[in-house]
Amino acid sequence: MGHTGAKIRKIRELRNLTQDYVAGRLGISQSNYARIEKDNVGISDERLQQLAEILGTTAENIEGFDEQVVFNISSSTNVHAINNVRELVNHYHISAELKQLYEDKIRLLEEKITHLERAQKVL
């Protein structure tokens, strides 16, 4: 399972999630979660399944994740390679829970902006 932590980190970053958020969902401290991403501790199959669910993917997709495929899509002109990337990207759908989390966050930020704009007009 070598470098699984690094793969988890890349997927988490692509999902724009913080270590604090993922650690909270796992019920562990951020520092303990950081040890997972640094490959300082082993990851059980159960923990990998939990992480996959949080990241909106599968344990198999985490283990098979290849950042070169994801980050080199713009430089690829080979139709076969592009189709492979599309297939890979389809495996990383955002879960309904994660989508709702982002929508709630956007709504709260919009409300905060409106509140701040009103407060500024009062001054």
Q: How many domains does the chain have?
A: 2
Confirm whether pTM is higher than 0.75. Answer: no
- What span, in angstroms and rounded, lies between the C-alpha atoms of 32 and 16? 19
Residue 111's domain spans which residues? 93-123
pLDDT band at 32 (very low <50, low <70, confident <90, very high): very high
Task: Please say whether the dihedral angle defined by the alpha carbons of residues 102, 108, 114 and 120, taken in this order, is positive or negative.
Answer: negative
Question: What are the CA-CA distances from residue 67 to residues 63, 88, 99, 108 (Å)?
Answer: 11, 11, 23, 32
Look at residue 60 and tell me whether its pLDDT is greater than 50. Answer: yes
How much is the average pLDDT of 85-112?
73
| Whether residues 14 and 52 fall in one domain | yes
Which H helix or E strand runs over 85? helix 79-90
CATH assignment at residue 38: 1.10.260.40
80 or 65: whose pLDDT is higher? 65
- What span, in angstroms and rounded, lies between the C-alpha atoms of 96 and 25? 16
